[in-house]
Amino acid sequence: MSLLLKGGTVVTHEMTFQADVLCDNGKIVAIGQSLNAPDGAEIRDVAGKLIMPGGIDPHTHMQLPFMGTVAADDFASGTAAALAGGTTSIIDFVIPNPGQPLMEAYHQWRDWSAKAMANYSFHVAITWWDESVHADMQTLVEEYGVNSFKHFMAYKNAIMATDDILVASFSRCLELGAIPTVHAENGELVYHLQRQMLSQGMTGPEAHPLSRPPEVEGEAAHRAISIAATLGAPIYLVHCSVEESVDAIRYAQNKGQHVYGECLAGHLVVDDSVYQDPDWDKAAAHVMSPPFRPKKHQDALWQGLQAGTLQTTATDHCAFCTAQKAMGEDDFTRIPNGTAGVEERMAVLWEKGVNSGKLTPNEFVAVTSTNAARIFNIYPAKGSVTVGADADLVVWDPDASKTISAATQMSNIEHNIFEGMQVTGLPVLTICNGNIAWDNGTLLAKAGDGKYIDRPAYAPYYHALQKRRQLATPVPVVR
């Protein structure tokens, strides 16, 4: 099926120009002035609208089994929300239980994700270590299109990866041309502070941020970066939420290290005052890790995006409804950690980024789509508007407005961390694999329309890493 977008303005991560865009058979086949529509093509007039690469959310957790329950948005409802927000691809996570074979977990998640409406891929978490893990990493990279592995530095006594595991796994990533990613929080400190808070009678959501202060994240960010630097591996930090993380990334980048940083739409605009809400449900709805932070950290994150210190924006979409949150009624450490956002990410970024002059529209495209595609080596198939690329597009109306509300969202939960925010700049058409998946309020995609994204190893930055490694081979002194 062909689709012709006529009269729009193409906005890529580096330029803006008037052009029609023709999609056919899931690909972009022509970009130019006054294109002719092939027979049978659907033609959409997008004059005054912006045609941009569909959003890529590199951090979601659909139907995640976590803390004794399962995230409320599954791969169908979650990707429906994504499409409604202009996002055409997500990278979710396979998280094996400690001891569980990686391949088993991987296949489990592939089963769950079969019903996805948007495109998807998986980071695989390294939650334990033995020879089978070492071997399965190779299988995943070489046979299953996985080029990134995730490490949780928090969650002691559960999925926490200690330094020995980090060293082993980062080394293995380097051998395979993959990129290690980390959730950076010092698990020992979190554990200590959680115990301390509870012992002081602090049981409510207001204790949550106190158990995970900024230094806890900054420490782990710096540690992961240093371990990667020592080994010569690249590194990607998910959900950076504090100035300390941005500083740590910048410090390493300025030494020539290949470090990449992600931040969440939520951390960019929501602050820690939410935990003081006298309504327990509302406060608990915001419990996620890392927690929302004092306002000054928002400035640091925005500046990180502006300066290129941070490259990507994500959501960590992991939706729990009010009843699930209530599992931690008497003990904040039992509140399931997670918030949603995959539907709102792009609108929030446009409103607070572009409309404020913090980001250009091109930079918006970079941080919502292209940069993720480049880092995870699926560019230019994803993240670009070029002939030959996958026809994953969002048509954006910079003048459309709405007020974000749980009442009107796609997600299966009763709350929204952006509740009440006025945004100007919204998707009007989301095109996934060449098909209109979401049309100005109407979801057209069906479960299973999403495709699995193979991500090849050895992204372009590996060229330099391999040169350096080769030049660094040690030589004994002749004596």
- By the rule CB under 8 A, 441 interacts with its own copies: no
Tokens of 70: 């399962």
Determine the interface stretch with its own copies among 58-66, 261-269, 424-432, 460-468 (rule: CB under 8 A): 460-468
Give which of 185, 282, 203 is closest to 242, Cα–Cα. Answer: 185
**Region 11-50 residues binding its own copies, contact defined as CB under 8 A:** 14-16
Nearer to its own copies, 39 or 164 (CB): 164
Alpha-carbon span 91 to 94, nearest angstrom: 10
Applying CB under 8 A, the span of 107-115, 137-145, 176-184, 226-234 interacting with its own copies comes to 226-234
Within 228-257, the residues that bind its own copies by CB under 8 A are 229-230, 247, 250-251, 253-256
Burial bucket for residue 232 (CB in 10 Å: 0-12, 13-18, 19+)? middle
Stretch that binds its own copies, among 56-64, 129-137, 276-284, 315-323 (CB under 8 A): 276-284
Residues in 344-403 that interact with its own copies by CB under 8 A: 354-363, 374, 379-380, 386-387
**Is residue 376 within 8 Å of 58, Cβ to Cβ?**
yes
Scanning 119-127, 279-287, 396-404, 405-413 for contacts with its own copies by CB under 8 A, the matching segment is 279-287
Stretch that binds its own copies, among 124-132, 186-194, 262-270, 437-445 (CB under 8 A): 186-194
Q: Which amino acid is at 335?
A: I
Task: Choose the stretch contacting its own copies; rule: CB under 8 A; options: 40-48, 273-281, 404-412, 435-443.
Answer: 273-281
For its own copies, which is the closer residue by CB, 45 or 163? 163
Is residue 203 part of the contact set for its own copies (CB under 8 A)? Answer: yes
Could you say which of 24, 188, 272, 454 contacts its own copies (CB under 8 A)? 188
Find the binding residues for its own copies in span 62-91 (CB under 8 A).
none
Minimum Å gap between C-beta 124 and its own copies is 22
Which residues share a beta bridge with 103?
none
User: What distance in Å separates the CA atoms of residue 271 and residue 257, rounded to the nearest whole number?
Assistant: 31
Taking the complex as a whole, the smallest distance from the CB of residue 324 to its own copies amounts, in Å, to 19
DSSP structural state of residue 68 = T
By C-beta, is 297 or 317 nearer to its own copies? Answer: 297
- Report d(CA 243, CA 296) in Å as an integer: 8
| DSSP β-ladder status, 422-432 and 393-403 | antiparallel
Report the residue number, 152 or 379, with the smaller CB distance to its own copies. 379
Q: Which of 123, 214, 221 is closest to 173 using CA atoms? A: 123
Spatial distance between the Cα atoms of 370 and 328, rounded to a whole number of angstroms: 38
Question: Which residue of 107, 402, 446, 467 would you call a contact of its own copies, by CB under 8 A?
Answer: 467
For residue 406, give both structure tokens.
């749980």
Q: What is the rounded distance in angstroms from the CA atom of residue 216 to the CA atom of residue 211?
A: 9
Among 215, 402, 408, 446, binds its own copies (CB under 8 A): 215
CA angle 165, 108, 68 (to 5 degrees): 75
Residue closer to its own copies (CB basis): 179 or 318: 179
- Least separation in angstroms between CB 188 and its own copies: 4
Q: Which stretch binds its own copies (CB under 8 A): 48-56, 70-78, 189-197, 444-452?
A: 189-197
Residue 165, burial from CB neighbour count under 10 angstroms (0-12, 13-18, 19+): middle
CA-wise closest residue to 310 among 356, 357, 353, 355: 353
Residues 6+ apart with CB under 8 A from 65: 71
User: Binders of its own copies among 295-334, rule CB under 8 A?
Assistant: 296, 302-303, 306-309
Least Cβ distance, residue 213 to its own copies (angstroms): 6
Q: How far is the CB of 421 from its own copies (least distance, A)?
A: 18
- Per-residue binding string, its own copies, 143-172, x by CB under 8 A, is --------------------xx-xx---x-
The answer to the question of residue 283 lying near its own copies (CB under 8 A) is: yes
279, 420, 422, 442: residue in contact with its own copies (rule CB under 8 A)? 279
**Interface positions, 93-132, toward its own copies (CB under 8 A):** none
Q: Are strands 27-32 and 119-125 parallel, antiparallel or unpaired?
A: unpaired
- In the DSSP assignment, the letter for residue 379 is T
CB 241 within 8 A of CB 263: yes
What Rg do the C-alpha atoms of the chain give, in angstroms? 22
Rounded alpha-carbon distances, angstroms, from residue 395 to 98, 120, 323: 43, 20, 36
Residue 367 C-beta: closest distance to its own copies, Å = 13
